[in-house]
Structure 1
Amino acid sequence: MTAPLTPLEAHPEHPPAPDPVSDVIRWAAFSCVLVPVVLLWSGASLAGALGTAVGLAAVTAVCRVLLRRSEACAARPAPDEEYAPRQGRHQRHGTAARRGGRHSGGNTPAG
């Protein structure tokens, strides 16, 4: 008897989609290591290199959270309601809305 196929073996013509957020985070983590090494090699102090590494790691973590949140929001299904502009009594229509005022007179100051 043969073993059941795993999800990846069941559809070999459809490889899993690459995750662009993970790629960005991977490169950022690489930079968090590479930048302090380059700083040390170029003569910067150990404290400065470590401070840079900590700062880059913090920025990377915040960006990861924001990217994942953005990805989750984009993946949510759209609500059933349409977001049509409201046409209430406070919305201005016609030429008065473009002129910026209620006066129908010309460009002369009121006197």
Structure 2
Amino acid sequence: MNAEPLWAAARPPADPAGDVVRWAAFSCVLVPVVLIVYGSSFAGAFGSALGLTAVTAVCRLLLRQSERAAAEERARPSLPVSGRHARPAPGVRRGGRHAGGCTPGR
């Protein structure tokens, strides 16, 4: 018998950005309710809800953009490693002092 809870079987694969956005949307509803319960004005609660909704929307856009960029980076073929200990390709000049050539002031 399967040991998974019933609600886990219906859930799609993990989507961390989606989870963050869902929690943020939940807070956009919860915060104004709590503010009203604890005596804040309706206008103040509405303003808080509006601000949280704007921040949530911007964060969602940035998260999706970041996910797209990461997916494109993973899809791009990897380039050969060039670093401190890597050998340069044949015919490539390396930095350092040059013999002769153009020297300033002469």
> What does 1:1-111 align with in structure 2 at a 5 Å threshold?
16-76=12-72, 77-82=75-80, 84=82, 89=95
* Ranges in structure 1 where 5+ consecutive residues have no aligned partner: 1-14, 93-111
Cα root mean square deviation, aligned: 2.5
Change in CA separation of 1:50 and 1:75 when aligned onto 2, cut-off 3 Å = same
Structure 1 length-normalised TM: 0.59
Letter paired with 1:31: S
Q: How many residues align?
A: 77
Hey, what's the Cα distance between the residues in 2 that align with 1:16 and 1:34? Answer: 25
Query: What's the offset of the Cα at 1:82?
Result: 4.3
Task: Find runs of 4+ consecutive structure 1 residues off by over 2 angstroms.
Answer: 78-89
Relative CO higher for 1 or 2, CA cutoff 8 Å, sep ≥ 6?
A: 2
Residues 83-106 of structure 1: CA deviation (Å, up to 9, x unaligned): 7369754x79xxxxxxxxxxxxxx
Identical columns (%)? 57
